[in-house]
Amino acid sequence: MIAKRTLSVAILLLILGLSPSAFAVTVRVAGRLASSDPAPVESSGQLLLPSSFLTDRLGLRIDPGSDASSWCLSAYGRVVTVRRDSTSFLVGSFSARSIQAPRVIGGRLFVPLEILSRGFSLLWDKSGDTYDLRPLGGAVDEVREGCYNDYLRLVVDLSASAVYWSAWSAGELTVDIAPPSPLPRDWGALRLFTFTDSLQPRVKASITDAGWTRLTISYAANTQPRLFTLGEPYRLVVDIPRTAPLVTPSPTVAAQTPAVQPLPEPTLASATPWAVRNFSTERGPVRVYVLKALPTSLRPALAASTLRQRSRTSAIARREKAPAAVNGGYFDWPGPALGWLVIDGEWIKHPMLSRCALAITESGQALMGRVRFSGYVQVGALGTLTLEGINTGHQATNGTVLYTRRWGQEVPAAPGKVRLAVSQGGSITRVDLDGSYMAIPADGYVLSASGIAADKIRSARPGMSVSISLGTLPEWPKVRHALGAGPQLVRNGQLCVTSAEESFRGDVTRISSRPAVGIDATGNIIVAAAEAEEARGVSCTEMGQIMLKLGCRDAMALDGGGSTTVVSGDRVLNSPADGSERPVSNALLVFGQPPS
């Protein structure tokens, strides 16, 4: 047996043209036996790795250099340039020197392990005739999809620049990714990523021998994919050619990065800016629909002309001709919003309980944070009253509420209240001292006061002037649109979940499907909605972590659970938790071109 092995090695060395002192060796990569054709060899105390080993076992890309005698080895944005029979090499633009030079033997490039170790931070040990290579490994953070006319792109986000092995057969690609060290506590969980492209891509992540992550990628085509890597952040990209080009773009369009592709003119038939991404939780993967927009392209919308009605998010978007939409803030039964709501400068509901809100100013700036209501009304010379709310029932025994036609056509009777009907010009048109029914002027409003506030304006008379001041603490001036929801998830680039501070009950913040909206470092808007396989959902903390990964400086949750609805044109993209789309009080609509 020994004689046969020695003869085989001698024949191999003769074929390769190596010196008699060269020996074939055993090589392991991150604990796995690694073979290639031709095999790695040791010559003069140095391990030489053939080009096939570099590409198939270390995940390197090899491109021709500036001339026929040089090559560029690259992975995750790092480039090492080597030259035939030269001990000098480049790592990026920095020069270095090795003991032994790369060689071309039998038409194959062989590169010394020393160059790879220094160029790609490749650690190694040797025991007898076995080399143990210890490359950097990485964890799979998520898998996301990009749909293009002639190919499907799957982007695997990694925690580090991990070595990978790949194998392809018709309709299925297997990619094994070297594990990180040390292994995370939850290492080994099975995850499944599914997408909506016509190729029906499906990615299963499992753990194989030596802790490697195995991605089994199946798709409905007999086309061989192309793999390459990108750096900072670390990504493995799989491009799968289509058997025929798409006629129209897929409704879920994603690029290599979280940025979405530009929208055409905002018509219902257009492709949408939603992208589909996948994130992991301790309970399994979640699918997240992501949209990036300019602040000026957002606008809240009511379900109907008055607050006490509900409608489906898709119907609201269709009525307003919005290319994209997501459900908005919380609401009471049968529909009044429970939070700040301003549309085109019209205050429809007031901020409540110091909860978080998103506002768009007249200048097009997006603001986000926790705010309190600061409203006052001056009634002639009778004095100033503090407003407790807009279009809501009385909560305080000594307070004043403002009602507009968004509440309805009338304010019902309430004994003990004093009511003033006020015209658009700010003049009292009617006074009622008994709290009886009062019609709301079509172009004005009604003030309803109780307790001490009622006594203060009891002597009011028709024709007396009334002025109103509506604002927030802290002061957000010249607000054009506002949508209150919460809790806050991210503040100043840090995870900051304020469920308790904003008085949210556990049934609101429990694990469920959940949309959110945020502002990135450039001032643009990020809208996202998470839904999970088997309705696992996400917690507020997990949603905050997702918004941070999407680049948000500030973020807050929107109404979740069965209300969660993602609309693209005339389609609902997600699977509502109730089994069908839930009627809601309001929605957040997106118009116009997203930022480039």
Per residue in 217-264, pLDDT tens? 999 888 899 999 987 678 899 999 987 543 333 222 222 222 333 323
Angle (CA) 491-497-498 rounded to 5° is: 100
Averaged pLDDT for residues 260-288: 63
Q: Which amino acid is at 287?
A: R
pLDDT-derived band of residue 187, with 50, 70 and 90 as boundaries?
confident
Which DSSP state fits 513? Answer: -
Range in 59-68, 399-408, 527-536, 555-564 with the lowest mean pLDDT: 527-536
Question: Hey, is 316 helix, strand or coil?
Answer: helix
pLDDT tens-digit readout, 56-90: 999 999 988 888 899 999 999 889 999 999 999 99
Helices (H) and strands (E) in the chain, counts: 7, 49
pLDDT-derived band of residue 417, with 50, 70 and 90 as boundaries?
very high
pLDDT tens-digit readout, 38-53: 999 988 888 999 999 9
Task: At 10, list the tokens.
Answer: 């001698």
Q: Which amino acid is at 254?
A: A
pLDDT-derived band of residue 594, with 50, 70 and 90 as boundaries?
low
Most confident stretch, 154-163, 186-195, 278-287, 461-470? 461-470
Residue for token digits 């039998």? 106
Residue 269 has pLDDT above 70, yes or no: no
The Cα 486–Cα 371 span in angstroms is 11
Where is pLDDT greater, at 463 or 16?
463
pTM higher than the cut 0.75: no
Residue 208 has pLDDT above 60, yes or no: yes
Task: At 559, list the tokens.
Answer: 């109404």
| Sequence-separated (6 or more) residues with CB below 8 Å from residue 314 | 325, 565, 567, 570, 571, 572, 581
Averaged pLDDT for residues 551-576: 92
Range in 232-236, 438-442, 554-558 with the lowest mean pLDDT: 232-236
pLDDT-derived band of residue 186, with 50, 70 and 90 as boundaries?
low
Say what the pLDDT of residue 253 is.
24
Say what the pLDDT of residue 415 is.
87
Say what the pLDDT of residue 8 is.
46
Where is pLDDT greater, at 147 or 204?
204
Residue 109 has pLDDT above 50, yes or no: yes
Task: At 117, list the tokens.
Answer: 């170790």
Of 234, 215, 216, 237, residue with least CA distance to 226: 237
Residue 268 has pLDDT above 50, yes or no: no
Dihedral of alpha carbons 185, 188, 189, 193, sign: positive
Say what the pLDDT of residue 251 is.
28
Averaged pLDDT for residues 433-453: 93
Say what the pLDDT of residue 267 is.
32
pLDDT-derived band of residue 185, with 50, 70 and 90 as boundaries?
low
- Contact predicate 575/545, CB 8 Å: no
